[in-house]
Amino acid sequence: MGIEEKAGNLGVVTTSLETVVNWGRTNAMWPLLFGLACCAIEMMGAQGSNYDLSRFGMELNRASPRQADLMIVAGRVSRKMAPVVRRLYDQMPEPKWVIAMGDCAACGGVFNNYAIVQGVDEVVPVDVYVAGCPPRPEALIDGIMMLHEKVKREKISGVREDAPIRITSKNQLIQVK
């Protein structure tokens, strides 16, 4: 009796290490537990039962940056807060990603004044921008799925796809050159 008869039809699955690693990264992204302003309420809404971020393996918002790999900057960043945001980012282990949620985080929004950072990309590198004031939970989830697509194209050699993605309020995608 051959091995096939004993073990049954096992089938064969082939894949690359890179695909498996990126699959793992996208299905267990843990966001850092912090919010800066009104956009954070929509971010919390995305965690609720209606939108259920747990579907993406993201139910664990980590209270420690050392256990998080996704920073969602939800709300305006004041000049006073900017060094704190940077410190939190620095304390997150590699690989790590950043979503700028809302107009304020992306470009200062309506707060065109000396107290507010005119885009959190002055402080940390941003992977995906989600437009809106505030963006609805669907828009944030769309941004997260775009980030997943981006991560799936990354090389485990450490080479990152650096061009950020913008999602406009009409859910159009713009790849920033």
- Of 70 and 140, which CB lies nearer to ligand SF4 in the complex structure? 140
**What's the CA gap between 35 and 43, in Å, rounded?**
8
Phi, psi values for residue 99, rounded to 5°: -115, 125
Three-class SS state of 14: coil
Q: Which stretch binds ligand SF4 (CB under 6 A): 37-45, 48-56, 79-87, 163-171?
A: 37-45
The closest of 27, 29, 25, 18 to 71, measured between CA atoms, is: 29
Alpha helix positions (H), the chain: 3-7, 17-27, 39-47, 82-91, 103-107, 137-152
Binding residue for ligand SF4, selected from 46, 68, 72, 104, defined by CB under 6 A: 104
Q: Which stretch binds ligand SF4 (CB under 6 A): 31-39, 81-89, 92-100, 152-160?
A: 31-39
Check residue 150 for interaction with ligand SF4 (CB under 6 A): no
Q: Which stretch binds ligand SF4 (CB under 6 A): 62-70, 99-107, 141-149, 152-160?
A: 99-107
Residue 13 CB, shortest distance to ligand SF4, in Å, is 44
Stretch that binds ligand SF4, among 32-40, 90-98, 136-144, 164-172 (CB under 6 A): 32-40
Whole-angstrom distance, CA of residue 6 vs CA of residue 108: 65
Please give the angle made by the CA atoms of 138, 140 and 146, to the nearest 5 degrees.
Answer: 105
CB of 51 to ligand SF4, least distance (A): 17
Q: What does the binding site for ligand SF4 look like in residue numbers (CB under 6 A)? A: 37-39, 75-76, 102-104, 109, 133-134
